[in-house]
Amino acid sequence: MEEIDCMKFVPKILGFLCNWCSYAGADLAGVSRIQYSPNIRIIRVMCSGRVDPIFIAEALSRNIDGVLVLGCHPGDCHYISGNYEAEIKMKMLKKLLKIIGFAERLQLDWVSAAEGNRFAQLVNKFNEHIENLGPNPVRNKKLKKKLQSDFDAIKSVLRDSRLRILVGRERKIINEGNAYNERIPIEKFEQILDDTIQNEFERHKILQIISENGKSVPEISKEIQLAPNNVLNHIVSLRQKGLVDLHELNEEIPLFISIKEDK
């Protein structure tokens, strides 16, 4: 008798679809009776540019296995540049998610109102891709605590305006130049962005673990698995920004604590 695998993994997929193209494409797939994986839950948004990266980090931190963001094809956005905004925001988020091994669980793509078939194909392919990746590691009890803390750091990075400002100026810095009228080649900008994202993530991890109790550099280093000299550099930078203070000396070892920013 054929053995039935009762434990087959069925991914939980979340789809953000823009109202004017992709949602209409999904609707067309439905009325045309085109088959696609039923395990996608769709949230209709007015434009792909409306999808805040925090929505996606929140979903992935809550056991969603994969997130698909679909908008109008480039040049077709109802709000002119919403899909361009979505593209740069998703690129920034993917880089952040890559640090904790979740980048492959996010995909941005384009579907027009006439592309019911394309919508179904994209959903099926993404579902297959997530099946191959396996369940969201947040579901694993042993990994959950560490990953939740990583996602908390990611959400704080995303709430912070520093990274958003840099990402929002990408086009201007590459095409027109920075404040010193220097045009930055795209490869160099990518490198600056990668470094900034890594640094911001590490700084927010540090701020997170010294939010309640003062800790020394070696303690922080051990807790977030980062070399002590890197931790020290971040502490110096955070103190300059007024985000960290010296809490006390413990047998002459300085303990640092974060200073809460005014809401």
C-alpha 247 chain-centroid distance: 32
Q: Decide whether 66 or 71 has the Cβ nearer to ligand FES.
A: 71
CA pair distance 258, 205, nearest whole angstrom: 11
Q: Which stretch binds ligand FES (CB under 6 A): 41-49, 51-59, 173-181, 232-240?
A: 41-49
Contact 245, 236 (CB under 8 A): no
* Residue 109 neighbours by CB under 8 Å, 6+ apart: 68, 69, 70, 122
Residues shown for the chain: 263
Q: Which of residues 173-232 bind ligand FES (CB under 6 A)?
A: none
Shortest distance (Å) from residue 249 CB to ligand FES: 55
Q: Does 129 bind ligand FES (CB under 6 A)?
A: no
Which residues does residue 44 pair with via DSSP β-bridges, in sequence order?
Answer: 17
Per-residue binding string, ligand FES, 78-117, x by CB under 6 A, is xx--xx----------------------------------
Contact residue for ligand FES among 72, 97, 157, 224 (CB under 6 A): 72
Q: Which stretch binds ligand FES (CB under 6 A): 1-9, 18-26, 112-120, 183-191?
A: 18-26
Contact residue for ligand FES among 16, 20, 36, 119 (CB under 6 A): 20
Which residues does residue 43 pair with via DSSP β-bridges, in sequence order?
Answer: 16
Per-residue binding string, ligand FES, 42-61, x by CB under 6 A, is -----xxx------------
Shortest distance (Å) from residue 45 CB to ligand FES: 9
CA pair distance 65, 51, nearest whole angstrom: 18
CA pair distance 164, 160, nearest whole angstrom: 7
Q: Which stretch binds ligand FES (CB under 6 A): 13-21, 60-68, 117-125, 192-200?
A: 13-21
Q: Decide whether 76 or 131 has the Cβ nearer to ligand FES.
A: 76
DSSP assignment of 202-233? HHHHHHHHTSSS-B-HHHHHHHHT--HHHHHH
* Residue 81 neighbours by CB under 8 Å, 6+ apart: 49
Q: Decide whether 20 or 102 has the Cβ nearer to ligand FES.
A: 20
Instruction: Count residues near ligand FES (CB under 6 A).
Output: 13
Contact residue for ligand FES among 18, 29, 68, 163 (CB under 6 A): 18
- Enumerate the H helices of 71-184 as residue ranges: 82-99, 116-133, 141-159, 161-168, 170-175
Shortest distance (Å) from residue 8 CB to ligand FES: 34
Residue corresponding to tokens 């179904």: 120
CA pair distance 233, 246, nearest whole angstrom: 15
Q: Which stretch binds ligand FES (CB under 6 A): 4-12, 14-22, 32-40, 228-236?
A: 14-22
Q: Under the rule (CB under 6 A), what is the footprint of ligand FES?
A: 18, 20-21, 47-49, 71-72, 77-79, 82-83
